[in-house]
Amino acid sequence: MNGDFFITGTDTAVGKTLLSALLVAALNRKYWKPIQTGSCEGTDRETVMKLAGVAVDNTFPESYIFSPPVSPHLAAEQNGTEIDMRGIQRPVSMDALIIEGAGGVFVPINREALMLDLIRQLGTPAIVAARTSLGTINHTLLTVAAIRNAKVPLRGVVMIGRENADNRRAIERYGNVPVIGAIPWLERIDRQTLLSVFQHYFDSALV
């Protein structure tokens, strides 16, 4: 184990980048997003640098980057290419990394591989970003089951949004998985805010 974590989610736009920025700031990790789509709207790397208050040398370049805001396999196809899993290798660094995926675990990367295959290839424990709102129990339990079926180490779930204690308890009970932290609704997001959230809403012993 090198201390890396792979941040995946129950869906797209669930808060993976926000969680990644928080962990980069709180754990003093470096950031890497192997596959970036939707770069026409800006990159998650740029967002993490801004939110976590870190410089570019605290991040690593994407292995693949595409302009269209679609699934990796479609973005590559529209670019006239195909993502080669052999071309995605962990950056050479002694520092522990926060690695952010694209979408959820069953997002296709190419004609054969899913995001779950990339997590397994990198050999990195996963942390699941999940919404707190209606529907999260089903989405989160499906994601947890998929990760476990793939024999990928699962560190826990982080719930993002307005607090819902019932949903949290259900996920912990039926998924037999710890909720290791929460990110509440934030009016302002910057490095200091993220550090405060980690201190008050995360179990640092489990992260």
Active site residue 33: yes
The three-state secondary structure class of 113 is: coil
Q: Which two tokens stand for residue 8?
A: 């995946």
Phi-psi sector, 13: left (phi>0), alpha (psi -120 to 50), beta: left
Neighbours of 9 (CB within 10 A): 29
Beta bridge pairs of residue 128: 8, 157
Task: Give the amino acid at 105.
Answer: V
Taking a C-beta distance cutoff of 8 angstroms, is the pair 66, 98 a contact? no
Counting every residue written for the chain, the total comes to 207
Contacts 24+ apart (CB under 8 A), 172-180: 174/137, 174/141, 175/140, 175/141, 175/144, 175/145, 177/144, 178/203, 178/206, 180/127, 180/155, 180/156, 180/206, 180/207
Task: Choose the catalytic residue: 16, 30, 33, 151.
Answer: 33
Q: CA 12 to CA 101: how far, in whole Å?
A: 10
The residues annotated as belonging to the active site are 33
